[in-house]
Amino acid sequence: MLGNFSYCNPTKLYFGDKSLQYLNTELPKYGKNVVLIYGGGSIKKNGIYDDVIRILKDNDKNVAEISGVMPNPTLPKLYEGIEIARNHQADFLLAVGGGSVCDYAKAVAVSVHCKQDPWEKYFLRFEEPDCEILPLGCVLTMVGTGSEMNAGSVITNPESKQKIGHVFADEEVMPRFSILNPKYTLTLPHYQMVAGIYDIFNHICEQYFSGEDDNTSDYISEGLMRSLLHSSRIANKNPQDYEARSNIMWTATWALNTLIAKGKSEDWMVHMLGQAVGAYTDATHGMTLAAVSLPYYRHILPYGLQKFKRFAVNVWDVNPAGKTDEQVAQEGLAAMEAWMQEIGLVMHITELGANADMLEGIADATFILDGGYKVLSRDEVIQILKESL
């Protein structure tokens, strides 16, 4: 914990099976023109849409809609949404959906009053907004990304095959409030549920597997990982277990709201690899991460041996007695692999539609970051992708 840092996360969270009612507490704080943002329409089937519309009407809001936000929200869709919000003279954005819908809503929020092209400004140049930012509230229906309590947004440019995330520094980009009702997550298909679980797990790993320093953040990360492993095993067997699903939902929020990265460096190479796979295959985000993780971690293990050993002992209860550090560390990753298989994660990018011919392109689309235990060369990226096939 040697660095200087600041922390501020003002998002108000309402958690629980009765949390939707707090929309009535929050909506009166904002203006009349609301843009409701959602995805493929599952919220119309499960009744959440009707409940939200009723509350918006009760609060006398004038509602426009952006529907059909896709799992990897695209730049053309962003342009469309900005237009709708401008035409509606939006005072407030209400995102109802998972991380993609929240991410997308943030991109709209920082673009409506911005005269420059948002792709170039925010996702290529990583600039901060210098315009008015629309306030945003979220009703979360899928867990994983942590978007409900952070200032991150990921947009995909299908033309250039770039999927780029920007974590805004400005706290105004964070949702003003988020409603987290674990019941909303119970109807999600098993595939989406476990993809979300792996997304959460990997968020923690990206922050954990970096740095030599021994700080509080890493201990909190270990607690979150242990909680997630415990609850994921219960949810895998019984997706209807409310307590397990609620623990997963809460863990997801704290896995990526900046807390566990405080005072330390971070990696994020698994996300860079996974996002490049995602840009080529449009596969579910969490599954792209799952498919590239073990080849990546086994590749960097020698460079971060002590941390991988600690991971094995503190997260996977590997008994280190009589073993070399290398053996302990490898046992930890083997335990992780067994858990990934147990809950049904995708272990190969070929299962997601990638093939050997795409590897050069995926490697080209992979941003190489420093922060991890080894800065990859392009050859190493290719090698890891090959091992992910």
Candidates 72, 231, 236, 275: give the one binding a second copy (CB under 8 A).
231
Q: How far is the CB of 267 from a second copy (least distance, A)?
A: 19
Candidates 49, 123, 201, 250: give the one binding a second copy (CB under 8 A).
250
Distance CA 262, CA 2 (A): 10
Candidates 86, 226, 298, 348: give the one binding a second copy (CB under 8 A).
226
Q: How far is the CB of 81 from a second copy (least distance, A)?
A: 28
| Window contacting a second copy (CB under 8 A); options: 12-20, 50-58, 104-112, 358-366 | 12-20
Which residue matches tokens 């020698």? 302
| Window contacting a second copy (CB under 8 A); options: 126-134, 225-233, 335-343, 364-372 | 225-233
Candidates 33, 187, 227, 350: give the one binding a second copy (CB under 8 A).
227
Distance CA 379, CA 386 (A): 10
Q: Does 16 bind a second copy (CB under 8 A)?
A: yes
Which of helix, strand or coil describes residue 358? helix
Candidates 104, 184, 254, 316: give the one binding a second copy (CB under 8 A).
254
Q: Does 323 bind a second copy (CB under 8 A)?
A: no
Under 8 Å between Cβ of 53 and 94: no
| Window contacting a second copy (CB under 8 A); options: 11-19, 111-119, 287-295, 364-372 | 11-19
Candidates 50, 212, 243, 370: give the one binding a second copy (CB under 8 A).
243
Distance CA 288, CA 271 (A): 8
Number of residues that bind a second copy (CB under 8 A): 47
Q: Does 367 bind a second copy (CB under 8 A)?
A: no
Question: What tokens does 291 get?
Answer: 């498919």
Which of helix, strand or coil describes residue 238? coil
Q: Does 233 bind a second copy (CB under 8 A)?
A: no
Q: Does 251 bind a second copy (CB under 8 A)?
A: yes
The interface with a second copy within residues 273-292 (CB under 8 A) comprises none
| Strand ranges of the sheet holding 136-140, from the earlier edge strand across to the other edge | 62-66, 33-38, 92-97, 136-140, 177-180
Concatenated DSSP letters for 296-348? Answer: HHHHHGGGGHHHHHHHHHHHH----TT--HHHHHHHHHHHHHHHHHHTT----
Q: Does 191 bind a second copy (CB under 8 A)?
A: no
Under 8 Å between Cβ of 77 and 159: no
Q: Does 208 bind a second copy (CB under 8 A)?
A: no
Distance CA 269, CA 175 (A): 26
Q: Does 29 bind a second copy (CB under 8 A)?
A: no
Q: How many CB atoms lie within 10 A of CB 203?
A: 27
Q: Does 170 bind a second copy (CB under 8 A)?
A: no
Question: What tokens does 15 get?
Answer: 């958690």
Q: How many CB atoms lie within 10 A of CB 58?
A: 11
Distance CA 101, CA 95 (A): 6
Q: Does 258 bind a second copy (CB under 8 A)?
A: no
Comparison of 19 and 153: residue with beta carbon closer to a second copy: 19
Q: How far is the CB of 343 from a second copy (least distance, A)?
A: 18
- Tell me which residues touch a second copy (CB under 8 A): 1-19, 22, 182, 213-216, 218-224, 226-227, 230-231, 242-243, 246-247, 249-251, 254, 259, 262-263
